[in-house]
Amino acid sequence: MTLTVLDPTLDPQGEALRPAPPLPTLDGAVVALLDNAKIGTERFFDFVGEILKSEYGVRELIRRRKADATRPVTKEMLAAMSGADALVAAIGD
């Protein structure tokens, strides 16, 4: 009996993604908070938003909440957050 092993992985295509360079400071920045719609995320972001403003000088928060955790973020939501200097996405249970 012959055993055939299949490899489901793809060969890499294109250039590897690189993270954006870090912001030199958050003072005066606009930060987007993307909520995945799980139970604890909204309250978690309430605290994160307070800390970002009071301790790091963030000027503005853009808050968006996905319809539910299983769906990807919509193009409209991404467009609404496109002016942000940074984005935080979190999962809360």
Residues 9-50 have pLDDT tens digits of 877 777 777 888 999 999 999 999 999 999 889 999 999 999
Residue 22 lies in a domain: no
Residues 55-85 pLDDT 10s? 999 999 999 999 988 888 999 999 999 999 9
Q: How many domains does the chain have?
A: 1
Residues 64, 34, 42, 62, CA torsion sign: negative
Residue from 92, 37, 43, 41 nearest 68 by CA: 37
Residues 6 or more apart whose Cβ sits within 8 Å of residue 41: 35, 65, 90, 91, 92
Residue 63 lies in a domain: yes
Residue 12 lies in a domain: no
What pLDDT is recorded for position 19?
84
How much is the pTM?
0.78
Domain encompassing residue 38:
30-90
Residue 2 lies in a domain: no
Residue 58 lies in a domain: yes
